[in-house]
Amino acid sequence: MYPLKYLTPLPGAPSFVLGLTNLRGEILSIVDLHSFFELPNQGLSDRSRVIVLRSHKMECGILADSVTCTRRIGIDDLQPALPTLTGIREEYLKGVTGERLIVLDAGRLLASPSIIVNESI
- 2-115, CATH topology level: OB fold (Dihydrolipoamide Acetyltransferase, E2P) (2.40.50)
Q: Note the pLDDT of residue 11.
A: 86
Average pLDDT over the chain, rounded to an integer: 84
Reported as a pLDDT band with limits 50, 70 and 90, residue 8 is very high
| Mean pLDDT to the nearest integer, 100-107 | 86
For the ranges 41-45, 72-76, 109-113, the one whose mean pLDDT is highest? 72-76
Q: Note the pLDDT of residue 30.
A: 92
SS3 track for the chain: CEECCCCECCCCCCCCEEEEEEECCEEEEEECHHHHCCCCCCCCCCCCEEEEEECCCCEEEEEECCCCCCCCCCHHHCECCCCCCCCHHHHCEEEECCCCCEEECHHHHHHCHHHCCCCCC
Considering the entire predicted model, what is its pTM? Answer: 0.79
Question: Each residue of 52-66: pLDDT tens digit?
Answer: 999 888 889 999 888
